[in-house]
Amino acid sequence: MRTKLLFVCLLTVAGCSEIGFGDFSSFGDGAGTVYDAANREYYPDDQLLVSARLQFLDRNYGMSHALYKRAIEVYPNDPQALLGYAASLDMLKKFDQADAVYRQLQPMVGNTIPYHNNFGYSQLLRGNLQAARQHFLIAYEMDPSNPVTANNLELLRNSIDFPRRAPGDLTGL
């Protein structure tokens, strides 16, 4: 009886307002305002990739992840979208998902500087310094004047100087 009364009250409240049950969303907007990119077949330009890259550069990794994911839904085999998606996953520390994207990306782009720089940086974030060094050196051998590779090698050098600590070691400070 209580459930029927509760259901009738909810229907009455939903009927008095302009929203229905399908319009509730955890983001404050109605569900009808959420944009679905899967139904769109043509984008006049690379607006998703540009937006995703800008969000990544602004260090909004959650938003860049969402935009790159949407770009992959629209352009499933775009190497730039996949590379950005993997980098966003790395920054969110979702390394298992990033590895799957890197495995998908490897046959597409092969032995390129951006791939080795990104995958090496992913290894650096995980603390796998030897694997990171291998990928950075491959990128360096391809183009010694590449500023991204030089920056990554400098980050690697700086990472070696800092001791690795277990989480919680510095709680007494």
* Choice between 38 and 158, residue whose per-residue pLDDT is larger: 158
**Can you read off the two tokens belonging to residue 159?**
């990472």
Query: How far lies 23's CA from each of 10, 14, 15, 28, 33, in Å?
Result: 14, 10, 13, 10, 9
Asked whether 67 and 48 are in contact (CB, 8 A), the reply is yes
Cα 136 from Cα 148, distance rounded (Å) = 10
pLDDT in tens, 90-132: 999 999 999 999 999 999 997 899 999 999 999 999 989 999 9
Residue 66 has pLDDT above 70, yes or no: yes
**Predicted local distance difference test score (pLDDT) of residue 47:** 87
Task: Write down the pLDDT at residue 30.
Answer: 53
Tell me how long the chain is.
173
User: Six-digit token pair at 93?
Assistant: 């520390």
Lowest mean pLDDT among 26-40, 84-98, 140-154: 26-40
Tokens of 94: 């979702």
The alpha carbon dihedral of 119, 125, 128, 129 has a sign of: positive
Mean pLDDT of 5-18: 53
Q: Which of 104, 40, 47 is nearest to 77 (CA)?
A: 104
- pLDDT band of 17, cuts 50, 70, 90: very low
Please determine, for residue 52, whether its predicted confidence score (pLDDT) is greater than 90: yes
Give the 3-state secondary structure of 86-141: HHHHHHCCCHHHHHHHHHHHHHHHCCCHHHHHHHHHHHHHHCCHHHHHHHHHHHHH
- Percentage of the chain lying above the pLDDT 90 cut: 55
Q: What is the pTM of this model?
A: 0.67
